[in-house]
Structure 1
Amino acid sequence: MTPTLSLRTRIGAVALAAAVLAALAVVYTVRATDRAQPGAAASGVTLANTPGLYARTAEGTVAAVHGDRRKDTGLTCRRFYAAGTSAVCLTTRPGIPPRSEAIVLDRDLRPRRTVTFGGTPNRARVSPSGRMVSWTVFVSGDSYAGNAFSTRSGILDTKTGYLIKNVETLQLTLGGRRYSASDVNYWGITFARDDNRFYATVSTRGKTYLVEGDLNAWTARTLRENVECPSLSPDGTRLAYKKRVRQGSSDPWRLHVLDLKTMQDTPLAETRSVDDQAAWLDGATLAYALPGRGRGTSDIWSVPADGTGTPVRVARDASSPSINAS
Structure 2
Amino acid sequence: MKWRILVALTATVVLAGAALGYVWFTRPAPATAATVSLAGPGLLVRSADGVLAVVGPDGSRRASALHCARVYAAHGTGVCLREDLGSYTVTILDADLSVTRSLPLNGLPNRARVSGSGRMASWTTFVTGDSYNGGQFATRSGILDTVTGTLAGNLENFTVGGAKPNLDANFWGITFAADDNTFYATMSTDGHRYLMKGDFAARAMQRVKENVECPSLSPDGTRVAYKRMLPDRTWRLTVLDLASLAETPLAETRSVDDQAAWLDASTVGYGVDKGVWSVPADGSGAPRLVAADAGSPAAL
Smaller-chain TM-score range? 0.7 to 0.9
What does 1:20-169 align with in structure 2 at a 5 Å threshold?
A: 43-48=34-39, 50-66=40-56, 68-93=59-84, 95=86, 99-140=87-128, 148-169=136-157
Find the counterpart in structure 2 of residue 241 from structure 1: 226
**Counterparts of 1:47 and 1:180 in 2: how far apart (Å)?**
37
Structure with bigger helix share is: 1
Unaligned regions of 5+ residues in structure 1, if any?
A: 1-31, 34-41, 142-146, 292-297
**Counterparts of 1:188 and 1:194 in 2: how far apart (Å)?**
18
- Percent pairwise identity: 53
Matched positions, count: 265
SS of 1:309's equivalent in the other structure is coil
- Report the TM-score, using the length of structure 1 for normalisation: 0.77
Unaligned regions of 5+ residues in structure 2, if any?
A: 7-32, 130-134
**Counterparts of 2:241 and 2:257 in 1: how far apart (Å)?**
21
Find the counterpart in structure 1 of residue 23 from structure 2: none
Residues 78-110 of structure 1 show CA distances to partners (whole Å, capped at 9, x for unaligned) of: 000000131000002454xxx310000011111
SS of 2:209's equivalent in the other structure is strand
SS of 1:189's equivalent in the other structure is strand
Contact 1:156 1:163 in 2 (8 A): yes
SS of 2:144's equivalent in the other structure is strand
Q: Shift of residue 68 of structure 1?
A: 4.7
Are 1:320 and 2:300 matched, yes or no?
A: no
**Counterparts of 2:99 and 2:276 in 1: how far apart (Å)?**
26
Are 1:186 and 2:176 matched, yes or no?
A: no
Q: Shift of residue 217 of structure 1?
A: 1.6
- Runs of at least 4 residues of structure 1 off by over 4 A? none
Contact 1:88 1:102 in 2 (8 A): yes
Find the counterpart in structure 1 of residue 283 from structure 2: 307
Measured on the aligned residues, the alpha-carbon RMSD in Å equals 2.1
Contact 2:158 2:165 in 1 (8 A): no
Are 1:206 and 2:191 matched, yes or no?
A: yes
SS of 1:301's equivalent in the other structure is strand
Distance 1:225 1:179, change over 3 A: farther
Find the counterpart in structure 2 of residue 283 from structure 1: 265
Find the counterpart in structure 2 of residue 13 from structure 1: none
Are 1:268 and 2:250 matched, yes or no?
A: yes
Q: Shift of residue 43 of structure 1?
A: 4.6
Q: Shift of residue 317 of structure 1?
A: 0.8
Find the counterpart in structure 2 of residue 23 from structure 1: none
Q: Shift of residue 299 of structure 1?
A: 0.8
Q: Shift of residue 246 of structure 1?
A: 2.2
Bigger RCO of structures 1 and 2 (CA < 8 A, at least 6 apart): 2
- Report the TM-score, using the length of structure 2 for normalisation: 0.84
Find the counterpart in structure 1 of residue 160 from structure 2: 172
Contact 1:255 1:268 in 2 (8 A): yes
SS of 2:156's equivalent in the other structure is helix
